[in-house]
Amino acid sequence: MAIEATFTDSQFPLAAVFSALPDVRIELDRVIPTDAAIVPYFWVQGADAASIDTSDIDHPGIRDTRVIDTVDNNALVRVEWNLEHESVLTAILETDVVLVSAIGKQDEWTFDVRGNDQQTLSDFRSYCQEHDIPVELTHLHALSPLHSDLESDLTDAQREALTLAYARGYYDSPRQVPQQAIADELRITRQAVASRLQRGTRRLVASTLITSDE
């Protein structure tokens, strides 16, 4: 079952753009990658396109940028990445996830990626951890709705606890955080976290693995 996940990253190479253009919005223009390029274009929105100058962008993850077109006061920029510098892009190249979208603002980048299964997304997250790429999981969901009845649907509290536990490495081996750390972040007791994880896991198993003989 295909799964989509949303990650945030505060240190993506294009964050260097915001030092000169703090109020703009950047969106990667996703095209089919080749051996020579991955996501070779991005849009700069929210500034006077005619005045945008990318010559001052200085980041070890970027070799070169140049404005190639302007459309409705948005600038289309060609970028040549330095893939020897570890970033979300190298994590995408080295794992089996697919980039769905990427949007950047001054304080944060948000990436939507898709994997064939949860293991694919876990491999992506592990790669980021091993290479000190500071991504944080904020949302995880099935590409298509799960076929389940009301008994197997997660509550908002269970979904929040399970997603946070996954993001913090609770389900990794070895385990990265104890239940108490998750409880502290959610500002609830450890017993409440244990209950949400146990009940939420039970409902996930019931909705995805257990079939009816009726």
Q: Are residues 170 and 80 in the same domain?
A: no
**214 falls within a domain:** no
Q: Are residues 37 and 87 in the same domain?
A: yes
Q: Are residues 75 and 162 in the same domain?
A: no
Q: Are residues 38 and 127 in the same domain?
A: yes
Mean of all residue pLDDT scores within the chain: 82
51 and 86 in contact (C-beta within 8 Å)? no
Q: Are residues 134 and 175 in the same domain?
A: no
Q: Note the pLDDT of residue 1.
A: 55
CA distance 16 to 20: 8
**213 falls within a domain:** no
Q: Are residues 121 and 191 in the same domain?
A: no
Domain extent for 112: 3-140
* Predicted confidence (pLDDT) per residue in 75-119, tens digit: 889 999 998 999 999 999 899 888 888 999 888 889 988 888 778
Q: Are residues 149 and 136 in the same domain?
A: no
Q: Are residues 120 and 197 in the same domain?
A: no
CA distance 136 to 48: 32
Max CA distance (Å), the chain: 66
Q: Are residues 54 and 130 in the same domain?
A: yes
* Predicted confidence (pLDDT) per residue in 19-76, tens digit: 878 888 999 886 544 444 577 889 998 878 777 888 778 889 999 998 888 887 788 8
Q: Are residues 80 and 10 in the same domain?
A: yes
Please identify, among 140, 171, 193, the residue that sits at the C-terminal boundary of a domain.
Answer: 140
CA distance 81 to 72: 26
**13 falls within a domain:** yes
Q: Which of 87, 5, 73, 76 is nearest to 40 (CA)?
A: 76
Look at residue 146 and tell me whether its pLDDT is greater than 60.
no
Q: Are residues 92 and 122 in the same domain?
A: yes
Please identify, among 110, 140, 170, the residue that sits at the C-terminal boundary of a domain.
Answer: 140
Q: Are residues 42 and 71 in the same domain?
A: yes
CA angle 207, 209, 210 (to 5 degrees): 75
**Domain count of the chain?**
2
pTM here is 0.62
Please identify, among 140, 168, 200, the residue that sits at the C-terminal boundary of a domain.
Answer: 140
